[in-house]
Structure 1
Amino acid sequence: MHARIAFLGAVMSTPLQWLFKAFDVFVVVGMAVMSLLVFTNVVLRYGFSSGIPFAVEVSRVVLVWVIFLGSVVALAKGAHLGVEALVVRLPRTARFACFLVSYGLMLWCCWLLGQGSWSLTLIEWGNVAALSGIPVGLTYAAGLAAAVTMALILLLDLWRSLRGILPAPWSGTEIDVPAPAVPPALISEKTP
């Protein structure tokens, strides 16, 4: 993962770094807003037989955006799960071929996600949520934003790979993950 982050630091220009920092901030703020809305609504409903009428609708839209933008940030940081046991053992040409195939498939998935999200956004934009008045299409627009941004990340990776710089593990370098540090208090004093 450290090699992936270093790779991204070299490839991303300032606007992209700013964009992913903005996504990080949005994810944190979105989680806070959702937590606050849901918690306040629960307290008001059970404690005072009242509630915030639009809390569920707003929380749902924010949750969808948090999930999609969080997945974009995870892709940019190389935090998605991957099985690298086979890839790192392949010769360089086979690794590069697997890289091209996998990135081609991911770009195709981005195309499908973007196309479907665009269609649903257009269809549902005129419909509004009953209590909040938020366009229903805003929920589907999250998929479109994620598809476009993920495709941009993948295309940047492909561009760099054609210049000879493959991200780990495709480059054949093992990713070193440091072992977790054990606090001295947890180590028994009498070791056999």
Structure 2
Amino acid sequence: MVLLLAAMVVMVFGNVVLRYLFDTGIDISEELSRFFFVWLTFIGAVVVGRENAHLGVETLVAKLGDNGRKVCMILSDLFVIICCAVFFWGTWLQAEINATNYAPITEISMLWVYGVGYFTSLGLGLMALFRILRVLTGRISEHELRAFAGDYSDDEAHALRERLE
């Protein structure tokens, strides 16, 4: 993500400087920066999913006990898996069309752009599946269960305690 963002900054800033000083620009950098932004967004979604930082309805979940939170966690992860399956299937259905379409300037196959759907759907779906398995086998941590309900108090102390156990 850092490399994509850095490349975007260099390309866009370079084009601004070139247009300001020399009234010209590099067309490839405009197109590539757009493609990098798409990848950055979807990779970011997977990273945020790993950190459990996506939006949630914590007000309701916070009022439930541990068992209620686990049920809500399983249900929400099942919905995530269903959405990821639909996203993967849609990417799969469009793959042949995207593979034969080429970007106008770089002439890169558009599958390289829209193929990020494979990465995102598999990444988020597998994380949700593994979390369901951890809940069902009783290996979900108290810290993660509290964070699912929006309770981030004393995070460092709980994380340290879990590492020591």
Structure 2 alignment gaps of length 5 or more: 156-165
Asked whether 1:176 is paired with 2:153, we answer yes
Asked whether 1:127 is paired with 2:101, we answer yes
Q: With structure 2 as the length reference, what TM-score do the two structures score?
A: 0.83
Asked whether 1:162 is paired with 2:162, we answer no
Deviation at 1:154, TM superposition (A): 0.8
State the aligned residue count: 152
SS at the partner of 1:72? helix
Instruction: Give the conservation status (yes or no) of the 8 Å contact 2:46–2:120.
Output: yes
Choose from 44, 47, 51 the match for 2:25. 51
Q: Distance in 2 between matches of 1:43 and 1:162?
A: 56
CA spacing shift, 1:80–1:177, aligned 2, 3 Å: farther
Instruction: Give the conservation status (yes or no) of the 8 Å contact 1:31–1:66.
Output: yes
Cross-structure match for 1:16: none
Instruction: Give the conservation status (yes or no) of the 8 Å contact 2:48–2:54.
Output: yes
Identity of aligned residues (%): 33
Instruction: Give the conservation status (yes or no) of the 8 Å contact 1:118–1:140.
Output: no
Choose from 76, 84, 90 the match for 2:58. 84
Deviation at 1:28, TM superposition (A): 0.5
Instruction: Give the conservation status (yes or no) of the 8 Å contact 2:15–2:29.
Output: yes
Encode CA deviations 1:140-168: one digit per residue, 9 max, x unaligned.
Answer: 11122110011111111111111113332
Q: Distance in 1 between matches of 2:18 and 2:95?
A: 33
CA spacing shift, 1:168–1:53, aligned 2, 3 Å: same
CA spacing shift, 1:82–1:145, aligned 2, 3 Å: same
Asked whether 1:152 is paired with 2:126, we answer yes
Q: With structure 1 as the length reference, what TM-score do the two structures score?
A: 0.72
Q: Relative to total residues, which structure has the larger helix share, 1 or 2?
A: 2
Instruction: Give the conservation status (yes or no) of the 8 Å contact 2:74–2:135.
Output: no
Instruction: Give the conservation status (yes or no) of the 8 Å contact 2:52–2:148.
Output: no
Instruction: Give the conservation status (yes or no) of the 8 Å contact 1:88–1:173.
Output: yes
CA spacing shift, 1:161–1:128, aligned 2, 3 Å: same
Structure 1 alignment gaps of length 5 or more: 1-26, 179-192
Cross-structure match for 1:183: none
